[in-house]
Amino acid sequence: MIQFHFDRRITDLLEDENISFYKKKQDVFEQFQHSSMIGWTEDVDSDMLSSLIALRDEVKKHSQCLVVVGIGGSYLGSYAINQLFSSYFHSCSFPIIYVGTTLSSDYLDELFEELRTKDFSLFVVSKSGNTMETVLFYQKIKRFMEEKYSLEELRKRIIICTNLSKGYLREQINQYHFVSFSIPENIGGRFSLITPAHLFPLSFSIDIFQFVSGYFQGKSYQEEAYRYAFCRKKLFDLGKVIENFCVYDEKFLPFTEWLKQLFAESEGKEKRGIFPVSTLYPRDLHSLGQFVQEGNPVLFETFFQVDNSSLKDEFSSLSSIVFDSVIQAHCSGGVYCNLICISCLDEFHLGELMYFFMMSATFSSYLFEVDPFDQPGVEVYKNAILQHTNFDFFHQKSD
Ligand code: PA5
């Protein structure tokens, strides 16, 4: 179960906003229902899930790890979940290595050093099939693999997930007959959690059936998702233009990266939107905490709490004291604090939580009167790269 406690001071304000709250809700729900980009709300075929498990079993037979290449919405979801379910100190029995988000030559050298003595498979995700960072890493790793494996072997080891019909990666699938999955046209990158783009890498570390059923259960939080969106918009109108997602466990940080992308890329348009940041407490209480408490009052906070009342150790009881004290202190400093409590952090509840946020980011974008499902600002950057690079990176290859 997930419980939402939005800051009392803001929910009190909502009492006066009753009419606007309900009127806008009707508008927002209508826009949502009529959007052509809500494929992520539609049921998933259980045969698709079984085929992912079957492929995972095949990969495990001939590989010692899986290298996943993707960026933005094509990797953050599965990366965040995988991190949440990983051990702090031990790499899991079947490591997943996420690459393609930086352009460091040192990183690439070390990656190849790491892979030189290993048998591995490659999973490449790009909805457009043309993203520069992803294509570049794909080309480099494929070339590296060609030195190790025959084409027949490559066909077992390279798996591509892209759109159905166009782009560089689709051409590669057609040319080499690699195993492939598609991302439906009506599901955007950051909303593609329940497509193979995320479910395939996740199948190595979690129960994807549980995750998917929790995800759809998340639909029951539609009212809360709207309430959260409405509160955020009210906070924005009060000058609170930054939302700080506060977590108490390092494993939760990648999840906040996912949240940051979801909100920033969905609602940050036309000079509008809330800028999302995240902090790890208590670590950041001893640095950024000063600003939160007494600095420029531009932010509000959303805290995550996982119920650990069944744990009776000293750390757990101390951490709930810290948790309550931080909220008390920040509220006394005038910071608005929302609280999201999760009864248990398993696949099912995580699925619910992620669906909740996807709905809420969508509603929030509609309240800001922007389209949640496009990202024109990202295109500006992509075009700038093409203008400044004097070569066609798609075709500087040996194939
Ligand atoms: O959410 C989005 O749409 C973006 O973050 C994309 O996922 C990101 O730009 C990568 O694009 P692609 O999947 O086409 O490689």
pLDDT in tens, 348-369: 999 999 999 999 999 999 999 9
* Fold entry, domain 41-206+377-395: Rossmann fold (3.40.50)
Ligand 1 pocket, residue 167 CB under 6 Å: no
Question: 129 CA distance to ligand 1 centroid (A)?
Answer: 9
Is 286 one of the annotated active-site residues of the chain?
yes
Ligand 1 pocket, residue 77 CB under 6 Å: no
Return the ligand 1 atom nearest residue 71 CA: 10
**What pLDDT sits at residue 393?**
66
For the segment 96-103, the average pLDDT, to the nearest whole number, is 96
**pLDDT surpassing 50 at residue 256:** yes
**pLDDT surpassing 50 at residue 399:** no
What tens digit of pLDDT does each residue of 275-315 get? Answer: 999 999 999 999 999 999 999 999 999 999 998 777 777 78
> DSSP of 345-364, one letter per residue?
-SHHHHHHHHHHHHHHHHHH
Identity of the highest mean pLDDT range in 88-102, 208-222, 318-332: 208-222
* Helix (H/G/I), strand (E/B), else coil: 92: coil
Average pLDDT, the chain: 94
Ligand 1 pocket, residue 311 CB under 6 Å: no
Inter-residue long-range contacts of 388-393, CB under 8 Å, 24+ positions, other chains counted:
393/132, 393/135, 393/136, 393/139
How many whole angstroms separate alpha carbon 264 and alpha carbon 377? 11
Mutate to test the pocket of ligand 1, among 68, 79, 126 (most ligand atoms within 8 A of CB): 126
- The upper half-sphere exposure of residue 10, i.e. CA atoms within 13 Å in the direction of its Cβ, equals 28
Residues 243, 265, 347, 352: which is the catalytic one? 265
**pLDDT surpassing 60 at residue 396:** no
Q: Given the DSSP bridges, would you call strands 337-342 and 2-5 parallel, antiparallel or unpaired? A: antiparallel
**What pLDDT sits at residue 90?**
84
Beta bridge partners of 246: 279, 303
Band of pLDDT at residue 390, cut at 50, 70 and 90: low
How many whole angstroms separate alpha carbon 106 and alpha carbon 78? 25
For the segment 337-352, the average pLDDT, to the nearest whole number, is 96
For the segment 392-398, the average pLDDT, to the nearest whole number, is 59
**pLDDT surpassing 80 at residue 395:** no
Question: 354 CA distance to ligand 1 centroid (A)?
Answer: 18
Number of H helices, E strands in the chain: 16, 10
Return the ligand 1 atom nearest residue 70 CA: 15
Question: 307 CA distance to ligand 1 centroid (A)?
Answer: 34
* Fold entry, domain 2-34+213-367: Rossmann fold (3.40.50)
Domain ranges in the chain?
A: 2-34+213-367, 41-206+377-395
Ligand 1 pocket, residue 188 CB under 6 Å: yes
Residues 62, 118, 166, 382: which is the catalytic one? 382
**pLDDT surpassing 70 at residue 133:** yes
For the segment 130-158, the average pLDDT, to the nearest whole number, is 97
Percent of the chain with pLDDT over 70: 96
What tens digit of pLDDT does each residue of 37-64 get? Answer: 999 999 999 999 999 999 999 999 999 9
What tens digit of pLDDT does each residue of 2-33 get? Answer: 999 999 999 888 877 788 888 899 999 999 99
Mutate to test the pocket of ligand 1, among 68, 78, 127, 383 (most ligand atoms within 8 A of CB): 127
Is 382 one of the annotated active-site residues of the chain?
yes
Return the ligand 1 atom nearest residue 162 CA: 13
Cα–Cα separations (whole angstroms), residue 229 to 52, 218, 249, 265, 274: 34, 16, 25, 15, 11
Please state the φ and ψ torsions of residue 324, each to the nearest 5 degrees.
-65, -40
**What pLDDT sits at residue 382?**
81
* Structure tokens given for 377: 């600002």
**pLDDT surpassing 70 at residue 391:** no
For the segment 60-73, the average pLDDT, to the nearest whole number, is 98
- Pick the residue whose CA is nearest to atom 2 on ligand 1: 189
* Helix (H/G/I), strand (E/B), else coil: 60: helix
Four-CA torsion 269, 165, 200, 60, nearest 10 degrees: -140
Is 62 one of the annotated active-site residues of the chain?
no
- Pick the residue whose CA is nearest to atom 8 on ligand 1: 72
Q: Given the DSSP bridges, would you call strands 2-5 and 96-99 parallel, antiparallel or unpaired? A: unpaired
Return the ligand 1 atom nearest residue 190 CA: 1
Q: From 154, 81, 85, 90, select the one nearest 124 (Cα to Cα).
A: 154
Question: 74 CA distance to ligand 1 centroid (A)?
Answer: 6
**pLDDT surpassing 50 at residue 385:** yes
For the segment 246-265, the average pLDDT, to the nearest whole number, is 97
**What pLDDT sits at residue 398?**
45
Question: 126 CA distance to ligand 1 centroid (A)?
Answer: 7
Q: From 188, 186, 131, 187, select the one nearest 160 (Cα to Cα).
A: 131
